[in-house]
Chain A
Amino acid sequence: MIHSRTKIIALISISLFLVSLAAFGGVTYLLKKHKSTLEQERIALADAEMQKKSLQDLLSIVESSGEEREKMRGYILDDERIIDLLTLIGTLSKEQGAIYSTSNLVVSPIDDTFETLAFTVSIEGSFEKIMRVLSILEALPQQSIISEVLFTKTVEKESASNEWQGTIDIQVTKYKSI
């Protein structure tokens, strides 16, 4: 027959042992988990620091290249500047003394961002004048290409007259209309 006090003491002892074991195990587990998380966070932090540095480099590139990018962007025509371009061509042609008109304005897509504005410039004047107009059109401040040129003498072909008429087909790249 075991004494009842001994039984109580044994019960308390075992309970205390189990509780302390659970507490110790729990704290050890949590500590291990936190340490592992801390290591991962430190690695992530180091990566983030590197990415921050890369971002700073990228931002400095973006900032330093802003002027060039804007200039480059300007080589492509946008909707607001179509009229300016046509006016410029007209003004330059008139300055050269050539009679000028524009026709056949057609817009065709290139891709998701750009499209082509094609039009025909008709000019009349001396050969030198229409050649100067052609040279000017070849040097437009926007990306453009002279797709077709047709220069024809207007009067009797054997004569010494220097009156010519020309049609110049131009394709100007523009941003797609929004």
Chain B
Amino acid sequence: MINLLPPKGHTSLKHEYVLRVISLYGFMLAIVFISGTILLIPTYVLVSSQLNSVRPDDDEGEATKKTFAEASLHIQNANTVMAQLRSITPNVQTSSIITDIIRLAPKGITFHTFQAKREANFLKAIDVQGFAETRNALAALKNAIESSSTFLSASVPISDLARETNLPFVMTISLNEAGSTE
């Protein structure tokens, strides 16, 4: 093929040709991207509507939170009361201890004072005062108490054992740790 164009014109034509090819590719790619964008729009709308439908309702959320807080408060209060009720559990009833001591007393023993004081809600010992007709009666009381599973020991001051008959006595009776009654 004979090129009748001058060299300058040939170069210019070549540049124009390249520019037109680039423009063509530009248009083609633009068409591809526009088509792609248009095709993505339904998907975008679908995803957006799904997103709107799963978004939590603020009012409902607040109401749920409030209900939960109220329910938790009820349970918390119940736990507080329960903890308090469990914190004070007497190991033994004073009346049952006094009844046990009287039941164990042999003939010839009379009581005139019972004193029981709890330490940290636990009854550990009880002080009794009374009269024993004989020293043997007092010894029998001491033995009976010490043989009982409710009591640990019964201590009587030696000075109280000086007389043979009509002995006034003071006795400190210690309870078993478990505090179980017979």
Residues of chain A touching chain B, judged by Cβ–Cβ distance below 8 Å, are 1-3, 6-7, 9-10, 12-14, 16-17, 19-21, 23-24, 27-28, 30-31, 34-35, 37-38, 41-42, 44-45, 48, 51-52, 55, 58-59, 61-62, 65, 69, 72-73, 75-76, 110, 113-114, 131, 134-135, 138, 143, 145-153, 157-158, 160, 173
Contact = CB atoms under 8 A, between A and B. Distances in A.
B1 to A, nearest CB: 23
A3 B16 CA distance: 7
Which secondary structure dominates chain A's binding surface?
helix
20 contacts: A2-B19, A10-B23, A16-B26, A20-B37, A23-B34, A27-B37, A27-B40, A48-B61, A61-B75, A62-B75, A72-B82, A113-B80, A134-B95, A138-B93, A143-B88, A145-B88, A146-B94, A149-B94, A151-B115, A153-B113
A34 B47 contact: yes
Contacts of A55: 64, 67-68, 71
Which secondary structure dominates chain B's binding surface?
helix
Contacts of A150: 113-115
Contacts, number: 176
A158 B110 contact: yes
Contact of B56 (A48, A143, A160): A48
